[in-house]
Structure 1
Amino acid sequence: MLEVEGLTLERGGRLLFENLSFAVGPGQLLQVEGANGAGKTSLLRILAGLSRYGYSGQVSRHAPLLYLGHHSAVKALLTPRENLAWHVSGEATYSDNDIEAALARVGLYGYEDVPSHALSAGQHRRVNLARLYLSAAPLWLLDEPFTAIDREGVIDLESLLVQHVERGNTVLFTSHQKLSVNYPLSSLSLSEGLRP
């Protein structure tokens, strides 16, 4: 679904990664690892086609993707229902019931119509993660998806990622924490390369 060849990124006179090559295919769960500032977010933005920095190398995507960035893209004046409806509006037509069900899956039942400025950081993150329950994209690129969610939310999200790859899809994510999943997990260290 995704192939990277000879990817090199220098930013601010500092080489973040050099000659990075890897491929991910159907049924693969890949964690990108590295210290803060190693270029994990920059890598995901390049893979998603969103990078504003110059880089060299080739990125080939062979499937539609969903990218969720490190910061939750929640508009404070909109409700969770309105935020989610706006985010998925370009993907397909979802009913109010679909949107409510996705919000309920991430623990936001009863908060659907609360202005988002009144929600916590973790609830903002959950609004963003609700997009995963509506996404038909086979390739998910997730930047620190476990940030600001509680242990129960982490367990639910881990389960969702495994379900997605078990259906023959692909997940590539960054995280400083190790997953507790019963599924083969590959890792890509920005300093060491791809490991099974």
Structure 2
Amino acid sequence: MSLLSVQGLCVARGGLRTVEGVSFTLDAGQALILRGPNGIGKTTLLRTVAGLQPPVAGRIKMDDDAVAYAAHADGLKGALSVAENLAFWAQVFGGGDVAGAMAAMGLASLSDRPAAALSAGQKRRLGLARLLVARRPLWVLDEPTVSLDAASVGRFADMVRGHLAQGGAALIATHIDLGLDARVLDLTPFRAKPSPDAQPAGFNEAFA
């Protein structure tokens, strides 16, 4: 069963096209790794698939409320404990196994610690544990292993494998070898060609 179909996708950042003509599908149980040099548009493509910005062209087909998106921000409330943060997100998404999510990412011993008191790696583990309580079939992940040590990367890879085994799918931008049975899509051949109406050299996208 196809959980995601992307056809002829073109995306833009700051008014400039980054990649174009991207097509792929993700079926239940499949993972796709996005690769390419910094700045090519991996994050922009993921944000577009997640519905955070519209595509310039092309079509994205998936069920409503199918996506759980995890990027550089961990989405935590500092005053809440580890368990309370996960319980909050479980409630938002309609339920989920908080204890199981903490166990999966090695957070059980930190369940009562405020998120604000966690290390960068612990915060990242908590942010990723939110995926398990979200109960969404399609995980869209942007460099999910940032700040993780080797043991935590292994926990995360196991978490993804479990998600795939249960019929989920994952679209991941990462330079780390997670040891997954996954296809790889290099975005380099899809780099957008300069258009006549492109912004002049020195254009700062922060002011777009």
Using the size of structure 2 for normalisation, the TM-score is 0.81
Q: Quote the Cα distance in structure 1 between the aligned partners of 2:176 and 2:38.
A: 13
The structure that has the greater radius of gyration is 2
Q: Quote the Cα distance in structure 1 between the aligned partners of 2:104 and 2:165.
A: 19
Q: Quote the Cα distance in structure 1 between the aligned partners of 2:178 and 2:70.
A: 18
Amino acid at match of 2:186: S
Pair 1:21–1:101, CA change in 2 (3 A) = closer
Q: Hey, what does 1:60 align to over in structure 2? A: 61
Within 5 Å, which residues of 2 pair with 1:148-187? Answer: 148-181=147-180, 183=181, 185-187=182-184
Q: Quote the Cα distance in structure 2 between the aligned partners of 1:71 and 1:81.
A: 18
What displacement does 1:13 show?
5.0
Partner SS state of residue 74, structure 1 = coil
Equivalent residues of 1:41, 1:70 under 8 A apart: no
Partner SS state of residue 108, structure 2 = coil
Q: Quote the Cα distance in structure 1 between the aligned partners of 2:95 and 2:25.
A: 32
Using the size of structure 1 for normalisation, the TM-score is 0.86
What displacement does 1:62 show?
3.2
Unmatched tracts of structure 2, length 5 or more: 191-208
CA RMSD of aligned residues (A): 1.9
State the identity as a percent: 37
Pair 1:26–1:103, CA change in 2 (3 A) = same
Q: Quote the Cα distance in structure 1 between the aligned partners of 2:139 and 2:29.
A: 12
Q: Quote the Cα distance in structure 2 between the aligned partners of 1:103 and 1:163.
A: 15
Q: Hey, what does 2:107 align to over in structure 1? A: 108
Amino acid at match of 1:93: G
Unmatched tracts of structure 1, length 5 or more: none
- Cα-to-partner distance string for 1:135-178 (whole Å, 9 max, x where unaligned): 43221111111111111111121122122223332111111112
Aligned length: 187
